[in-house]
Amino acid sequence: MTRRILTTMLAVTTLAVALFGVPLALGVRRLYYNEAVVRLEREAAEAGIAVPTSLGDTRDPVELPVPAGGIRLALYGADGAKIAGQGPDRADAAVAGALSGDVRQGGEPGSLVVAVPLSGDERVFAAIRASVARRVVDARVHRAWLAMAALAAGALGTAGLLAWRQSRRLSRPVQALATAATLLGLGDFSVRAETSGVAEVDAAAGALNVTAERLGELLARERAFSADASHQLRTPLTRLRLRLETALAVPGAADGEVLQAAVADIDHLEATVEELLALARDEGPPRERLDVPSLLAEVEQRWHGTLAAAGRRLHVIADPGLAPVDASAAALRHVVDVLVANAAEHGAGTVTVRARPAADAWALDVTDEGPGPSAGDGDLFRRRSESATGRGIGLALARSLADAEGGRLVLSRPGPGPCFTLLLPAADGDTD
């Protein structure tokens, strides 16, 4: 997990840096080049101030200043011949252009060139050519790029560090949870996962703790059962066998009294079996009183639209005289959802959801007007791959959930007009 977080963070940071950095780098280069050109122009213009207008007349030697930064200046006469400085002997395109009156830019490969005209007495009498090797400007650009790269590296480094720290913070509780789960699997039901502050991991830890507790209880009960069962069953069995075998062995002893006693032994056995079964039976988690109207209202709300969109109607009815039920609303919501989804997908016509009283129980029928399922009841609720017909997992899960709530889910009418019934025991049943 650490690697994944780290990789993601670095990838994202790299992408961000690249998205900004690349255009920025290109912009920086352009900036430097423009700046160089402007500088060339300025140097040329400044040098031009010192040149007298009477240049053509006197042919005095002219001294051009030597600017910094590798800029070379050259002076050209109106005829295009170089008078002073560093540059080509004859006027190039830029200089020729300058001599005709405009500031001109030009570039031989490898240099930036700017030529500035010098005018006096309303005519251009000379031009100054300023040039700088591209190499010089590039050097400056590359230095800037290096600085940017260093910053980017810094950003990536910081991102990496943060990612590493964060993943450590996350992976520690996940690791602890995994360890707790492993211990649980190995049979230690006393293990409890601690809270870590990470919401999702804590939720998983909580669920694990609840499971560990229930498993622990079940195991304890099973152990108690095994320990008792052997003794409690074998003793009355032995008595019974002894009585009957003795009666068989002794001729004429198999009379009513012996048989009565044997039946009494069986009563005793029966009672013991009941006790032991009750001991072994899992009561399940404590349940809350179910708010039936609320559950039905939710069903209506959730499915009315979907069915209406397909031109089908949904009837949600609660018959009078419903007994109270203790069950998990979340589990039942899921069960009803599966059943209605089933009716929506595989059924046809109006879907009716009806809560009705059953003999000392509570029943919920989900019917539709379709042909009904073709497979037998057993197949329908068996867990199959989703791809088969789409009924697969949903119904099997719904049945498990119903069983876990102490109820049953059955196909009470196979169809046409199939009906799935969820039955739940009433909370305070009538005493018999």
Partner 1 sequence: MDERQVLVVEDDEAIGRGLAQALTTQGYSVRWAATGSDGLREATEAAPDLVLLDLGLPDLDGVEVCRRLRAVAPGTTIVMLTARDAEIDVVVGLDAGADDYVTKPFRLAELMARVRAHLRRAGPGAPTGRLTAGGLELDAGSHRMWVNGAEVDLRPREFDLLALLMAEAGQVVGRERIMAEVWDEHWFGSTKTLDMHISALRRKLLAAGDDPNRLSTIRGVGYRLETL
Query: Which residues are CB-neighbours of 338 under 8 A, at least 6 positions away?
Result: 394, 395, 397, 398
Residue 423 near partner 1 by CB under 8 A: yes
β-pair partners for 141? none
Q: Is 427 in the site for partner 1 (CB under 8 A)?
A: no
Residues that bind partner 1 (rule: CB under 8 A) add up to a total of 28
User: Judged by CB under 8 A, which stretch of 16-24, 105-113, 145-153, 418-426 contacts partner 1?
Assistant: 418-426
**Closest separation in Å from C-beta 407 to partner 1:** 6
State the binding string over 260-299 for partner 1 (x if CB under 8 A, else -): ------x---x-----------------------------
The verdict on 380 binding partner 1 (CB under 8 A) reads no
* Distance, CA of 159 to CA of 15 (rounded, Å): 12
Q: d(Cα 261, Cα 247) in Å, to the nearest integer? A: 11
Stretch that binds partner 1, among 30-38, 229-237, 291-299, 351-359 (CB under 8 A): 351-359
Using CA atoms, how far apart are residues 95 and 89, in angstroms rounded to an integer? 11
Interface residues for partner 1 in 37-76 (CB under 8 A)? none
Least distance from C-beta 331 to partner 1, angstroms?
Answer: 15
Kindly indicate which of the ranges 133-141, 306-314, 325-333, 423-431 contains the residues binding partner 1, using the contact rule CB under 8 A.
Answer: 423-431
d(CA 15, CA 11): 6
Supply the minimum distance, in Å, between the C-beta of residue 320 and partner 1.
4
The smaller minimum CB distance to partner 1, of residues 104 and 399, is found at 399
Piece of the chain touching partner 1 by CB under 8 A; list 24-32, 170-178, 247-255, 357-365: 357-365
Q: How far apart are the C-alpha atoms of 22 and 2, rounded to whole Å? A: 29
With CB under 8 A as the contact rule, which of the stretches 26-34, 89-97, 220-228, 416-424 interacts with partner 1?
416-424
Candidates 136, 162, 358, 396: give the one binding partner 1 (CB under 8 A): 358
Q: Does 361 bind partner 1 (CB under 8 A)?
A: yes
Q: Which is nearer to partner 1, 122 or 432 (CB)?
A: 432
What is the H or E stretch that residue 356 is in? strand 351-358
- Whole-number Å distance between alpha carbons of 78 and 98: 10
Q: b/e for 382-397, b at 16 or more Cβ within 10 A?
A: eebeeeeeebbebbbe
For residues 311-340, which are near partner 1 according to CB under 8 A?
319-321
Which residues lie below 8 Å from residue 313, measured CB to CB, with a gap of 6+?
Answer: 307, 350, 351
Residue 315 contacts residue 352 (beta carbons within 8 Å): yes
Q: Please choose, from the candidates 129, 105, 92, the residue with its C-alpha nearest in 3D space to the C-alpha of residue 37.
A: 105
Candidate list 282, 283, 377, 379; residue touching partner 1; CB under 8 A:
377
Q: Is residue 356 a contact residue for partner 1 (CB under 8 A)?
A: yes
249 contacts partner 1 (rule: CB under 8 A): no
Identify which of residues 207 and 263 has a Cβ nearer to partner 1 in the complex.
263
**How far, CA to CA in Å, does 190 sit from each of 184, 208, 348?**
8, 11, 51
Task: Please state the length of the chain.
Answer: 432
- Which residues 132-161 are close enough to bind partner 1 by CB under 8 A? none
Q: How far is the CB of 284 from partner 1 (least distance, A)?
A: 12
d(CA 113, CA 131): 4
Q: 184: which 2 tokens?
A: 């649980």
| 194 DSSP assignment | P
For the bound state, the minimum distance from the C-beta of residue 419 to partner 1, rounded and expressed in Å, comes to 11
Residue 283: strand, helix, or coil: coil
- The Cα-based distances of 314 to 18, 320, 330, 414 in angstroms read 56, 19, 21, 20
- Tokens in use for 16? 């961000």
Nearer to partner 1, 252 or 378 (CB): 378
Spell out, one character per residue from 383 to 412, where the chain touches partner 1: x when CB under 8 A holds, - when not: -----------------------xxx-x-x
Among the candidate windows 89-97, 126-134, 147-155, 359-367, which touches partner 1 by CB under 8 A? 359-367
DSSP string, 222-254: HHHHHHHHHHHHHHHHHHHHHHHHHHHHSTT--
Nearer to partner 1, 124 or 361 (CB): 361
> Cα separation of 90 and 71, whole Å?
19
For residue 268, give the 3-state DSSP assignment: helix
Nearest to partner 1 of 363, 395 (CB atom): 363
**In the complex, which residues of this chain contact partner 1 (CB under 8 A)?**
266, 270, 319-321, 356-361, 363, 377-378, 406-408, 410, 412, 421, 423-425, 428-432
